[in-house]
Amino acid sequence: MPSRRDFLTRVAAGAGALAVRPAGAASLDAPEIKTALNGPVGLQLWSLRASLPKDLDGSLAKVRAMGFREVEGAGLWGRTANELRASLDTAGLRCTSAHMGLERLRDDLSGAFAEAKVLGATLFVCPWIPHEKGFTRDSALKAAEAFSGFGKAAHEAGLRFGYHCHGYEFVPSTEGTLFDTLAGAADPARVEFQIDVFHAYLGGADPARLIEKYKGRVTTLHLKDLKKGFPVKAGTDGAPADADVPVGTGQIDYPAVLRAAVKAGTSAYYVEDESADPLGHIPQSLAYLQAFAL
């Protein structure tokens, strides 16, 4: 199974073929997820990375059956954008956000916009900044400049742009951390943030404080938890699959995170499961979120 980093480098950077979307979609009935949060809970499709390439329609039907109505894209799974949209429609799912690699955005921004629009996404998110020789202040400043350009172009196209943190940004910098450097240099009106709670925490940040600090710009979250006892070190950008546990069962203070997100006006929440048992873990994460009280 490819790693998340391999996926971001190889798949998210590639362009998908576009076609005219066929009309019509099946209307499915499944209990919808209800929480006390101030926005819908969707699923990041990377969670089902093992099954989607083999059985796209069956996998999406399982997503719907768990109560999801919204998903976040993570590539096209060997289909055209039109084909994926048709399968989402048939499953009764809406793609509200999509991950796109930085190389794709740099080299084919108009194609990325077209793909997002076919899928139905209004937000596209860059989930990784390539940095073979280490992530530096210069890396952060160059990324901020590129992100501001993507955000301006997205706004003009009727879309929104965001950046998903991955842990390597939370090392000391002149502005505090390299995440602070990036955030301070990027256009605050055009560059949103998707805080991956797991990666922010694993990388040495306090997710609740991070969300509070950048309230108004943290529009979405990725929700997953870190196994109790797993070591945390500033700048860490990844962990083995067995470090990923259902939300509310690990070492992250999720009540503080979720309350901070509601207070900050975060408008969408995506469960992401990178464990070896996503279909076992995701319902546990949903049960925690549905039982959560502000």
Q: How many CB atoms lie within 10 A of CB 262?
A: 15
d(CA 126, CA 147): 9
Least reliable range by pLDDT among 27-36, 44-53, 83-92: 27-36
CA distance 32 to 71: 13
pLDDT for the residue 24 = 41
Residue 25 has pLDDT above 90, yes or no: no
Q: Which of 219, 217, 284, 216 is nearest to 254 (CA)?
A: 284
Residues 210-232: what's their mean pLDDT? 98
pLDDT tens digits, one per residue of 238-279: 999 999 999 999 999 999 999 999 999 999 999 999 999 999
pLDDT per residue over 13-24, tens digit each? 444 444 433 344
List Cβ<8 Å contacts ≥24 apart for 169-177: 169/135, 169/140, 169/203, 170/200, 170/203, 170/204, 170/205, 170/234, 170/235, 171/135, 171/204, 171/234, 171/235, 172/234, 173/137, 173/140, 174/137, 177/205
At CA 104, angle to CA 198 and CA 49, rounded to 5? 45
The mean pLDDT of the chain is 92
pLDDT, mean of residues 210-239: 98
Q: What is this structure's pTM?
A: 0.91
Band (5; pLDDT cuts 50, 70, 90): low
pLDDT at 227: 98
Q: Which amino acid is at 40?
A: P
Mean per-residue pLDDT, 219-240: 97
SS3 30: coil
pLDDT of res. 4: 54
**Distance between CA atoms of 28 and 253, rounded to whole angstroms?**
35
- Would you state the pLDDT for residue 28? 56
Confidence of residue 31 (pLDDT cuts 50, 70, 90): confident
For 75-141, strand residue ranges (E) read 94-99, 123-126
What local confidence, expressed as pLDDT, does residue 132 receive?
A: 87
Per-residue pLDDT tens digits for 97-122:
999 999 999 999 999 999 999 999 99
